[in-house]
Amino acid sequence: MKNKVVLITGASSGIGRALAFAFGRQQASIVICARNVESLETVGAELSQAGIENLCLQADVSNESDVRQLIDATLRTYGRLDILINNAGISMRSMVLDLDPEVIRKVMDINFMGTVYATRYALPHILKTKGSIVGISSIAGYRGLPVRSGYSASKFAMNGFLEALRTELLDTGVHVLVACPGFTTSNIRVSALNNQGRVAGETMRDESKMMSAEECADYILKAVIRRKRDLVLTSQGKLTVFLNKWIPGIMDRMVYNTLAKEKDSPLKVKS
C-alpha cells in the first residue's frame, strides 16, 4: 500500500473509520468522506496523530455533484487514485406493509447510487493505476432479510453492479472486490431508518459478541492485497450464504425466527 491513494466513503465511524487506519498503517495516503463534518474531522485528526497522511472531504454520496467534486479534489491533492472503497451506507427497519416507499428510495440512493457515482467517476483514474474497486456489501446482498427489504435490495443491487463491472473490466488489470461482513459492530443499526424515515437512535441487537470493525477492516485489507474476488465474513455469514443456496425454503423460516428475536421486532417467533 505504500504511496498508494485510497478513497473511503462513509469513513466517519465504524468500518469506514477502521479501514482508514488499516490502510493508513500500510503507508497509504487516505482520503475520507462523510456527511457529518464534525465526526469526519475527528477521524482526520486521529489519523494525523497516528502519522497517517489524510485528506478529509465532506460529501454526500447520494449527490452526484458531491461525488464528482470528491474525485476531483482527490486528484488535485494527490494526482492519482489507486483504491476506491464504497463503504457509505445506511440501513432501515420496517415491515413493507408499514413502509413509506421514500425510505427505500433514500437507502437506494446512498447505498447503491452512491456506489454507482463514486465508481463511475473514479474508474478512469483507477484504470490508469490498475487499482482496486471495493464494495462493502452485506450478507443481506445474498439473502433477503425481513424487515430490511430496502437494505437488502440496495446490497443485491450493489453486488450485481460490481459483478457486471468486474466482467466488463476483464483484462484491464483492475481488481473488483465485493466484501460482505456479517453482523459487525458499527453504528449502522443505530442510524437505521424506521418506516417513516426517522433515525432509530439505538441498536436492536446485542453487539458484544459481534466481529469488531477493526477485525473486519483487517480482513478487507488482506483481500485487497491478495486481489480476491469475494469476501464473506463471520461463521454465521458464511453459513447463511451456503445454506441459502442449498435449502432456501428452510432458510426462510430460520432467518425469520432469527430476526424475530431482535428487540422490538414486528416479526413473531414461530416454529
Question: Across-strand partners of 146?
Answer: none
Measure Cα distances from 170 to 39, 127, 130, 144 in Å.
38, 11, 11, 29
Q: What is the spatial distance between Cα 173 and Cα 183, in angstroms, rounded to a whole number?
A: 32
The residues, ordered by sequence, that sit 6+ positions from 223 with a Cβ below 8 Å of its Cβ are 177, 179, 231
From 78, 121, 142, 151, the catalytic residue: 151
Query: Using a CB cutoff of 8 Å and minimum separation of 24, what contacts does 119-125 make?
Result: 119/84, 119/86, 119/161, 119/162, 119/165, 121/67, 121/68, 121/71, 122/7, 122/71, 122/81, 122/84, 123/174, 125/71, 125/75, 125/80, 125/81
Q: Which three cell numbers stand for residue 53?
A: 497522511
Residue 117 designated active-site: no
Which residue numbers are catalytic?
151
